[in-house]
């Protein structure tokens, strides 16, 4: 199945799959030991990657999940603390916040940079007031989500609650998938209204001016 043929359900399942190693880690860590949990989490991520590879599915999400699981396992193995499995993912919202805020400051909202071509928007989307506003609002929403995400992860990291950290990790994917879906919906809706307006502007600019002498005759 190509990436163009993927349904919203397939994308949601793919996002959830990237969080499966975290769930496996918490379950095995509670039932057994840290080292066995690290082994199972890494093996699960590798298994998901091989499964998609054999099915010839898009590997982007599987690769991301494999890399995140490897980094998380490496950090926890070095420190010997189960909660440190979630230390690296806790830093991702910080990077996302910086990227989103920076894009808003230069008036190139990040959701527009990433999704404008997907919705078929114009190259000068940042100069289109209504379309740019949609991207600005959804980018600002992403900032708010990341602020809450980081705050919750920091709080439960300090509280040494790996199970809650895993739940936050699982919930993050669907939340951002919903934000992306909302951005695509409203941006496509605006692009459909924008196209006739732009065609009208082009027509008015290209229409020949009437000759004053003809109007006097």
In a domain, 63, yes or no: yes
Q: What is the pLDDT of residues 29-39, one digit of tens each?
A: 999 899 999 99
Does any domain span residue 139?
A: yes
Tally of domains in the chain: 1
- pTM to 2 decimal places: 0.78
Is 209 a member of any domain? no
Residue 103, number of CB atoms within 10 A of its CB: 21
Tokens of 121: 């928007």
Count of CA atoms in the C-beta half-sphere (13 A) of 122: 19
Residues 69, 21: contact at Cβ < 8 Å?
yes
Whether 141 is covered by a domain: the verdict is yes
Q: Which of 70, 73, 71, 90 is nearest to 172 (CA)?
A: 90
Q: Is 205 inside any structural domain?
A: no
Helix or strand or coil: residue 1? coil
Report how far apart, in Å, the C-alpha atoms of 198 and of each of 15, 125, 173 are.
Answer: 37, 12, 36
Residue 23 lies in a domain: yes
Domain range spanning residue 27?
8-194
Q: What would the mean pLDDT of 178-201 be, rounded to a whole number? A: 82
Span between the terminal Cα atoms of the chain, in Å: 68
* Domain-located, residue 55: yes
Flag whether pLDDT at 7 surpasses 50.
Answer: no
pLDDT digits (tens, 9 = 90+) for 69-105: 899 999 999 999 999 999 988 899 999 999 999 999 9
Average pLDDT, the chain: 84
């Amino acid at each position: 199945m190509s990436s163009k043929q993927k349904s919203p359900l397939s994308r949601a399942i793919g996002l959830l799959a990237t969080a499966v190693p975290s769930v496996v880690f918490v379950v095995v860590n509670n039932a057994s030991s840290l080292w066995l949990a690290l082994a199972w989490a890494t093996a699960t991520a590798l298994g998901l990657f091989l499964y998609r590879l054999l099915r010839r599915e898009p590997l982007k999400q599987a690769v991301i999940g494999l890399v995140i699981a490897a980094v998380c396992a490496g950090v926890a193995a070095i420190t010997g603390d189960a909660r440190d499995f979630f230390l690296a993912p806790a830093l991702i919202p910080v990077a996302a916040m910086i990227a989103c805020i920076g894009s808003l400051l230069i008036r190139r909202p990040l959701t527009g940079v990433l999704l404008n071509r997907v919705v078929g928007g114009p190259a000068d989307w940042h100069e289109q007031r209504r379309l740019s506003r949609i991207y600005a609002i959804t980018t600002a929403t992403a900032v708010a989500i990341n602020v809450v995400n980081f705050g919750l992860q920091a709080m439960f990291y300090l509280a040494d609650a790996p199970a809650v950290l895993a739940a936050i990790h699982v919930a993050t994917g669907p939340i951002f998938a919903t934000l992306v879906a909302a951005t695509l919906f409203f941006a496509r809706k605006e692009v459909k209204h924008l196209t006739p307006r732009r065609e009208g502007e082009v027509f008015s600019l290209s229409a020949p001016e009437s000759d004053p002498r003809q109007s006097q005759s």
